[in-house]
Amino acid sequence: MTEKRKKSGEISRREFLRDAGLLVGGTAIGSTVLLAACGGGGATETVTKTVTSTVPGGTATVTSTVPGGTATVTTTVPGGTGVQTVTVTKTVEVPSGAGPVGLTEITFTLNGRVYTRLVDDSWDLQYFLHDIMGFIEIKTFCYRGACGSCSVIMNGRPILSCTTLAVNADGAVIETSRGIAMSGHPLVNAYIKNHCMQCGYCTPGFLVTSKALLDRNPNPSEEEIMEALSGNICRCGTYPAHIWAIQEAVAEGGM
Ligand code: FES
Ligand code: FES
């Protein structure tokens, strides 16, 4: 998981499992832990613990820390030495959104190919497509919906993938700059001929936004082009070149 993911403050399933500590009679024990999924509002957690140390017979206190608080349960365990199993079921209140996130299976079409993947409910689409699926052409200048570099076309509209949840891509048709380039769209040659990129970092976002514009308006005016591209930021200042490229693609591509 990248650093930007860690900054979100979410509790991963791995961390949740790791943090669900369990003590029996004050003895720390290593073993198998099984946690049932927690829902928002109220959550039921089942803890199964294999004891590998001497446990006194009688009553023992089992404490487990979960998101939303600490639960303490008193239970009876058999005495003796050897491997013993203690099972505790408890219910704790977990504030909505504070519990571990779930996984959702989604199916979507990306650049003409159908994928089915499990996604964490907290993942944004940029992280999923870029970091998990390897579509590294989807950039991030700002990661907060202000620069357009993460733009992809989803269901015919340009969207900011950094502010879109990956689970919302279920059933969607998505196109990235890679798909546009592989399709041989007239914009690609026009971008090259008009030197639309200097460092090139913003270029995929511009290309995606330009393609979406031509899909819905095959012959846009200069004003319409400027308005369509107004959400894309270029630190190198290539703005006029994108207007020329779109106009050239319209002229040469018979849009
Ligand atoms: S990275 Fe998504 S808008 Fe800037
Ligand atoms: S070409 Fe460098 S940021 Fe746009």
60-80 pLDDT, tens digit per residue, is: 555 555 444 555 555 555 665
The closest ligand to the CA of 139 turns out to be: 1
Residue 41 has pLDDT above 80, yes or no: no
pLDDT of residue 6: 38
Cα 90 to middle of ligand 2, angstroms: 55
As a whole number, mean pLDDT of residues 171-194 equals 97
Model confidence over 221-241: pLDDT tens digits? 999 999 999 999 999 999 999
Query: What is the Å distance from ligand 2's center to 66 Cα?
Result: 46
Amino acid at 175: E
Please tell me the number of the ligand nearest to residue 144's CA.
Answer: 1
> How many A from CA of 207 to the centre of ligand 1?
15
Cα–Cα distance for residue pair 149/57, rounded to 1 Å: 63
Choice from 127, 149, 201 to test ligand 1 binding pocket (greatest atom count within 8 A of CB)? 149
pLDDT score for 122: 94
User: Beta-strand (E) ranges in 57-156?
Assistant: 58-66, 69-77, 84-94, 103-110, 113-120, 151-154
The better pLDDT of the pair 183, 95 is held by: 183
Helix H or strand E encompassing 148: none
Say if ligand 1 is within 6 A of residue 162 CB. Answer: yes
Query: Rounded distance, CA 111 to CA 108, Å?
Result: 10
Mean pLDDT along residues 179-206? 97
Q: Does the pTM exceed 0.85?
A: no
- Number of Cβ within a 10 Å radius of residue 5: 15
Closest CA to 199 of 255, 123, 141: 141
What integer is the mean pLDDT of 36-50? 44
CA pseudo-torsion sign 72, 76, 78, 80: positive
Strand partners, 65: 70
Q: What is the mean pLDDT of the chain?
A: 76
201 lines ligand 2 (CB under 6 A): yes
Residues 81-108: tens digit of each pLDDT? 555 555 555 555 545 554 456 999 999 9
